[in-house]
Amino acid sequence: MIHKANKLLLLSFLSAFSIYLSAADVDWQVYLGDKASSQYSELDQITTENVKNLKVAWTYQSGDAREDNRSQIQCNPLIINGILYGTTAQVSVIALNAATGEELWKFNPASENHASGPPDINRGLAHWKNGNDERILFATGHYLYAINPKKGMLISSFGEAGKIDLKKGLGRNVDKLSYTIRTPGTIFEDLIIIGGRMSEGLPTIPGHIRAYNVVTGKQVWRFNTIPHPGEYGYETWPKDAWLNSGGANVWSGMTVDEKNGLVYCPTGSASADFYGGDRIGQNLFANTLLCLDARTGKRVWHFQFVHHDLWDRDLPTPPNLLTINHNGAPVPAVAQSTKSGHVFLFNRLTGEPLFPIEEKSYPSSDLVGESAWPTQPLPTKPEPFARQVLSYDVVNDLFPEKQKELQDQFVRLRPHMPFTPPSEQGTIIFPGFDGAAEWGGQATDPEGILYVNSNEMPWILTMINATHGASNGERVFLQMCSACHGQNRLGSENQGTIIPPLTMEKLAEKNLDQAGVREKIQQGAGIMPSFGFLSEKDLDALIKYLFVEAEAESVNRSGDTNAPSDSAVVYGHTGYNKWKDSDGYPAVKPPWGTLNAIDLNTGEYVWKTTLGEFEELTEQGIPPTGSENYGGPVVTAGGVLFIAATLDENFRAFDTATGKELFKQKLPAAGYATPATYSVDGKQYVVIACGGGKLGTKSGDAYVAFSLP
């Protein structure tokens, strides 16, 4: 029996200890929350009851947003010991006081003369610490940097004077090819494991996965995602593919099971995205979840989601690691969400599917030299979180005066079903090239609920046989340039980013003559990679086409009409074209964006709601339609889900139990990023990067943090 005085002393101690716990700092130390990519926090100060009282705690502005609205901030920042580490619109690294937003230091690779081309997009950083040795790992262009987190300076003992060139060590010469990293590498012990992003056309770089020592910068292992002779999967490609093919890269991020020493690597499609006549076969390990031994890079198990991909069905997010209750027992699981709107669930140690997966038959291709794979796998559970078929009856009917316009387009296109191969007639891609699921990731909570936001935008893919009847310059343009700038050179919105026209009028407005255009083609500009690999013959022909042939009413086709010597057929496409009506609304009935909660223990939905709105339609009495969205959710123990992501530039909070919207506030620019939550001195904050710049929205330069008054 506890003596009364001792009991009071114990209660006093417990009360003091409770206060200490509530006041302790809680960090956000890893991209997307933790190495399992859970996007979950144990913080519970902000609850479903008080979230409506959130106020802006601080705003930081970097001052480097582009005036032409073409810059973005997609960074999910780190918060470590009260310091926020993130990146700006022009991809400088910043350290801020996480309680006030005060800038502590800034590292600009361009001003340090370390840049490897125009600023790209950055989605986050990696952090490593061992005793007194601590560093931030930051990638931009084709360099990986090690930065002292206290001083904001390069750690000169890492690699070559603080950086390593990621174009080296890939097994073949890729000096003239485009390569960059947007998503941070994954830390395991003293390794950083990284993927990369490269051109989705040919020629391009192989997407091999590599591990580097975080102290020295030395490459420790490499896994060849396009297998070399004698390696597993080599027979699924043409015999020389390992020398010529590219892609099959991890651009969306990885997750780590530290206890079991396993890293999970989701790969993208092989290049070129939409024509595979030069890579006939199943194409392992493209479109594959690879489970590798994190120490050695050896394959443990794999699952391929799309065989011989012709639809740009990259795995767009890091997989989520969690424990679920399956058939009455706890199972270590890995969940992979896809652009097509499916969730595949596996035992993460063995690769065994936890819900049945069926291989179904799909149509063949009619493109010359192409051979679509006859079957593709789909899970039986959970049900897809996005619609799968765009039929005549789901064409947008909100605006009767526009409906016939869309229906007339529909009947001219190839009838839609999943995995309908690309065609010269025009193929509907639905969900579109950006998903359903996209790079913002999904959240999971300890109860096994997965929270995923989704897009439902249709796109139209139209192939062009660039071999027949074209001058050499037009052939190069159709193969290399039309996907972004459009077949008619009028520019486009390429996956949410505005691409400028290449007409003589527009080139003159920018004071670009032939020499200026040649320089940009060779060196890259903005988001456009370098095309320095083009031969002088092809480059001369392209310049001639842009400045002479394309401006003539009738293109002179008497020149070189032959495709490159190493290819009998060359296909291009007319670009990444979203299917919208003439007012800019999606061609499909709403919802156009959703937020979903799925119980992975059972495969059943907990709830589904729209995410985002077009305010002008809401004012007309139309219920919220949802909108395209980029960036993922964060879930907390307080029962609150935080997300920005939408083109209406709002930051929102939802009840995780019901999906009810609890809070909404306009941001200075759209938050196309995944937020982070943390506490400093007992106060919980949630912070979002407000970079805008996609979907026609203005660019921003801010991080905005919210807290309770």
**Mean pLDDT over residues 372-381, rounded?**
98
Q: How confident is the model at residue 551 (pLDDT cuts 50, 70, 90)?
A: low
- Within a domain: 471: yes
**Mean pLDDT over residues 418-424, rounded?**
96
pLDDT at 503: 80
> 15-29 as b/e, with b when 16 or more CB fall inside 10 Å?
eeeeeeeeeebbbbb
More confident residue, 23 or 633: 633
Strand spans (E) along 17-149 = 40-41, 55-61, 78-80, 83-87, 93-97, 103-107, 126-130, 133-140, 143-147
The number of distinct structural domains making up the chain is: 1
pLDDT, one tens digit per residue, over 25-73 is 899 999 999 999 999 999 999 999 999 999 999 999 999 999 999 999 9
**DSSP secondary structure, 107-122, as one string:** E-TTTTT---SS----
pLDDT at 13: 40
pTM across the whole model: 0.89
pLDDT at 313: 98
In this predicted structure, the answer to whether residue 119 has a pLDDT above a threshold of 90 is no
Q: Which residues contact 173 (CB under 8 A, 6 or more apart)?
A: none
pLDDT at 699: 97
pLDDT at 497: 60
In this predicted structure, which of 307-311, 524-528, 689-693 has the lowest mean pLDDT?
A: 524-528
CATH of the domain at 530: 1.10.760.10
**Mean pLDDT over residues 495-511, rounded?**
72
Strand spans (E) along 535-603 = 571-573, 577-578, 593-599
Helix (H, G, I), strand (E, B), or coil: what is residue 419? coil
What is the residue-averaged pLDDT of the chain?
90
CA distances from 70 to 278, 602, 625 (A): 35, 43, 26
Write phi, then psi, for 162 (nearest 5 degrees).
105, 0
In this predicted structure, the answer to whether residue 515 has a pLDDT above a threshold of 90 is no
Tally of CB atoms within 10 A around 590: 21
> Could you tell me the two tokens for 143?
């360099």
**Mean pLDDT over residues 424-438, rounded?**
96
Write phi, then psi, for 473 (nearest 5 degrees).
-65, -40
- Within a domain: 414: no
Rounded Cα distance, 676 and 701, in Å? 17
**Mean pLDDT over residues 589-598, rounded?**
98
> Residue 513's domain spans which residues?
463-574
In this predicted structure, the answer to whether residue 449 has a pLDDT above a threshold of 80 is yes
- Residue 288: HSE in the Cβ half-sphere, 13 Å Cα cutoff: 28
CA angle (288 as vertex; 140, 599 as ends), nearest 5: 100
Contact between residue 322 and residue 344 where contact means Cβ atoms under 8 Å apart: no
**DSSP secondary structure, 295-360, as one string:** TT--EEEEEESSSS-SS-----SPPEEEEEEETTEEEEEEEEE-TTS-EEEEETTT--BSS-EEEE
CA distances from 266 to 323, 356, 401, 684 (A): 19, 20, 43, 33
Rounded Cα distance, 413 and 406, in Å? 11
In this predicted structure, which of 18-27, 84-93, 202-211, 584-593 has the lowest mean pLDDT?
A: 18-27
Strands 634-636 and 40-41: what pairing?
parallel
pLDDT at 117: 54
pLDDT at 454: 98
In this predicted structure, the answer to whether residue 556 has a pLDDT above a threshold of 70 is no
Q: For tokens 């009838």, name the residue.
A: 415
- Within a domain: 699: no
- Within a domain: 539: yes
pLDDT at 19: 35
pLDDT at 536: 80
CA distances from 142 to 118, 203, 219 (A): 11, 17, 15
pLDDT at 494: 57
pLDDT, one tens digit per residue, over 293-307 is 999 999 999 999 999
> Among 265, 268, 359, which residue's Cα sits nearest to residue 318?
265
- Within a domain: 559: yes
**Mean pLDDT over residues 234-249, rounded?**
97
- Within a domain: 94: no
Q: Return the bridge partners of 353, or none.
A: 346
Rounded Cα distance, 438 and 434, in Å? 6
pLDDT at 527: 64
**Mean pLDDT over residues 593-597, rounded?**
98
Q: How confident is the model at residue 485 (pLDDT cuts 50, 70, 90)?
A: confident
In this predicted structure, the answer to whether residue 253 has a pLDDT above a threshold of 70 is yes
pLDDT at 94: 98
pLDDT at 474: 74
Tally of CB atoms within 10 A around 93: 23
pLDDT at 532: 74
Write phi, then psi, for 491 (nearest 5 degrees).
80, 175
- Within a domain: 42: no
Contact between residue 266 and residue 254 where contact means Cβ atoms under 8 Å apart: yes
Helix (H, G, I), strand (E, B), or coil: what is residue 176? coil
**Mean pLDDT over residues 659-684, rounded?**
98
**Mean pLDDT over residues 367-385, rounded?**
97
CA angle (561 as vertex; 556, 564 as ends), nearest 5: 140
More confident residue, 505 or 454: 454
The H-assigned helical ranges of 524-580 are 536-544
**Mean pLDDT over residues 417-436, rounded?**
96
Q: How confident is the model at residue 526 (pLDDT cuts 50, 70, 90)?
A: low
Q: How confident is the model at residue 188 (pLDDT cuts 50, 70, 90)?
A: very high
**Mean pLDDT over residues 266-274, rounded?**
97
User: Per the omega criterion (within 30 degrees of 0), is the bond before 382 cis?
Assistant: yes
In this predicted structure, the answer to whether residue 81 has a pLDDT above a threshold of 50 is yes
Contact between residue 75 and residue 99 where contact means Cβ atoms under 8 Å apart: no
CA distances from 671 to 195, 457, 548 (A): 25, 19, 42
Rounded Cα distance, 95 and 69, in Å? 24
In this predicted structure, which of 118-127, 488-497, 646-655 has the lowest mean pLDDT?
A: 488-497
**Mean pLDDT over residues 560-576, rounded?**
63
Rounded Cα distance, 224 and 231, in Å? 9
- Within a domain: 567: yes
pLDDT at 468: 65
